[in-house]
Amino acid sequence: MQKRNWRQIFILSLFFVVAPLISWYYLRKGLNYRIEAVQELAHIGKVAPGTLVSLFGDTVRTTDMQGRLSVAQLLDMSDPAAVKEVGNHLQELHNQFDARQDVLFLIHLQGFVDTAQVSAFAREYDLDDPNQVFFFSATGAQRMYFIPKPDPGTATAALVDTATDVRKFYNTRDGAQLTRLTEHLALLLPRESGRKELEFRRDKEK
């Protein structure tokens, strides 16, 4: 009988003492992680009002970026290794947020490119998504997103929040930094995804 009582006390202790402590520990750990992640995000500068015209004639206005998160990627198309690494990483990132129409991928290409080359790149890496993924010339992109001069062997992406503030830069050739970008995107995602569809206009429709 005494052994049974001790066993019951032990089980009740696990249920009422140990389990809440474990839950508190993981909640606290999650809160600390969130605080640390938020602290990594700065307010670098606000994207200047204006309109971007893609290589396919679509227009993306700064007002289209409001209420949405944007990943602005610089990519040197003359570097095959960078194209492959960044292409694979953007494919992974896009697949994770494909269902969200409040996440945009604005890819600014350096080096000589034509639309056929860009279309082939988009198809190869599953980036052929006219509602989320847009390709532009890289001219003026560094100034637009306050991107510093990249180090050799890197490919810089800027994270732009829903208020069009640039929050952080990432080397998307680095898997660890890509993971952190994914985490920051998830952290900053708008609570509601049912926002109006983007209305991107072709120049000929203006």
User: Confidence class of residue 190 from pLDDT cuts 50, 70 and 90?
Assistant: confident
User: Confidence class of residue 4 from pLDDT cuts 50, 70 and 90?
Assistant: low
Query: Are the C-beta atoms of 45 and 133 separated by less than 8 Å?
Result: no
Residue 103: is its pLDDT beyond 70?
A: yes
Q: State the pLDDT at residue 150.
A: 85
pTM here? 0.77
Q: State the pLDDT at residue 202.
A: 44
Angle between helices 175-188 and 19-39 (to 10 degrees): 100
Q: Which tokens in the block code for residue 113?
A: 């490119």
Q: State the pLDDT at residue 11.
A: 58
